[in-house]
Amino acid sequence: MSMKQELHDRLRAAFDRWLALQRTGVSKFDLKARGMRDHQDPNYFLRPLIFTRCTMTTYEKVLRDFVDFAQREHGATRLEDIGKKEFRAFMDRGIEQGLAVKTLNLYRSALAKFGSAVTRQTDSYAALSQKYGWKIRELAKLGQLPRPTRATPSRDVLERAVTILQDWDARHFARTGEPRAYHLAARLQLETSARSISVTERLTGACLQEGNRLTVRAKGGKVLTFTLSPELHRVLVLWFAHYSAPLVPQRGYQTSYRRAICAAGGQVAGTHGARRCSIQDFYAERYRLAVGSGLDPKAASDQAAGDALERLGHGRNRADHRKWYLAR
């Protein structure tokens, strides 16, 4: 068996282990709590697992290059031959090539998963990943690495994209007789700031609640609740009364969304662009309310940012996510 095929099989096994745990009712939170209780490490039981097909595909693309590099440059013939030396060489090459911060962080995350889920060199690979995380941050501060571009489309561009998707959905129905709701997924992202997976493949009629509320399953198994506009809630109720769940496939939505953003005159930023725009609008509204209640600007900003991070499904004090989504 080739090393690439073996890599694929082991990554798939890591994903299958998580699916098997899910079927028993275990959540990521349960595993974190168990890790803290038994090993004082919340990620102890998470490291050997892969939680989504998308993550598996993304990591495999990086790791196939890593395996090629280790075989070509260091003579590795088995996955177990690939160790810390190859990890360091692969990361150093990426830094020398001037890869962006986001790309380098993806590399170290994928390599850490290689150690924990593929070759069971968990501790050494996790330590190296942390070390390179520090190095990348320092090089970025010194201006020696390109910073990630986070093109967030304007609200006008996003609204035009929704209209374009609605037109495309209608034309698809006229041509094929098959209903499609990509525009509804886009409207949901704008109203809720949710991830694309939460408003596509995880969205069913059971998610709709009284009082125009919507519950979605977010990252890590968290359940988030949003209040929708009455019009959008009504449209979704009617949709699921006539059509089966889930709402739409995530991949198809993401592809059409990117095309619609370009057609609307925006830059391609993925569906996370809608998530960032939506949460920035939410932050601005919460900030205005906080200032209006008498808080000073600093306290109002902290409160609004905490509310925004909770809406995204993160902890209130996550400075990294605050910077990523709010640039604050």
pLDDT, tens only, 23-68: 999 988 899 999 999 999 888 999 999 988 878 998 999 999 999 9
pLDDT at 149: 57
Same domain, 9 and 136: yes
Whether residue 165 is contained in a domain is answered as yes
Q: Tell me: pLDDT of 320 over 70.
A: yes
- Dihedral of CA atoms 9, 15, 16, 21 in degrees, nearest 10, equals 150
Examine the fold and report which residue of 93, 113, 141 is the final residue of a domain before the chain moves on. Answer: 141
Whether residue 217 is contained in a domain is answered as yes
Q: What does the alpha-carbon distance between residue 77 and residue 244 come to, in Å, rounded to a whole number? A: 49
CA quadruple 186, 188, 194, 195: dihedral sign: negative
Q: Tell me: pLDDT of 201 over 70.
A: yes
Whether residue 146 is contained in a domain is answered as no
Q: What does the alpha-carbon distance between residue 301 and residue 204 come to, in Å, rounded to a whole number? A: 35
pLDDT at 147: 62
Q: Tell me: pLDDT of 113 over 80.
A: yes
Write out the two tokens for 306: 């905490």
Q: Supply the CATH number for residue 212's domain.
A: 1.10.443.10
The mean pLDDT of 233-238, rounded to a whole number, is 96
Q: Tell me: pLDDT of 205 over 90.
A: yes
Reduced to 3 states (helix: H, G, I; strand: E, B; else coil), residue 215 is: strand
Total structural domains within the chain: 3
Same domain, 124 and 246: no
Q: What does the alpha-carbon distance between residue 199 and residue 188 come to, in Å, rounded to a whole number? A: 7
Same domain, 25 and 135: yes
pLDDT at 87: 94
Same domain, 291 and 171: no
DSSP state, residue 44:
T
Same domain, 11 and 120: yes
Beta-sheet pairing, 208-209 with 213-217: antiparallel
Beta bridge mates, 215: 225
Percent of the chain with pLDDT over 70: 98
Q: What does the alpha-carbon distance between residue 144 and residue 147 come to, in Å, rounded to a whole number? A: 9
The whole domain housing 71 covers: 3-141
Q: Tell me: pLDDT of 98 over 80.
A: yes
Reduced to 3 states (helix: H, G, I; strand: E, B; else coil), residue 226 is: strand
What is the tens place of the pLDDT at every residue in 118-161? 998 888 888 999 999 999 989 888 888 876 555 678 899 999 99
Q: What does the alpha-carbon distance between residue 255 and residue 142 come to, in Å, rounded to a whole number? A: 36
Same domain, 262 and 289: no
Listed residue (192, 164, 194) closest to 263, CA to CA: 164
* Mean pLDDT across the chain: 91
Residue 315: pLDDT band with limits 50, 70, 90: confident
Q: What does the alpha-carbon distance between residue 220 and residue 166 come to, in Å, rounded to a whole number? A: 31
Same domain, 230 and 305: no
Same domain, 172 and 300: no
Residue 212 — left, alpha, or beta (φ > 0 → left; ψ -120 to 50 → alpha)? left
Whether residue 160 is contained in a domain is answered as yes
Whether residue 148 is contained in a domain is answered as no
Examine the fold and report which residue of 96, 114, 141 is the final residue of a domain before the chain moves on. Answer: 141
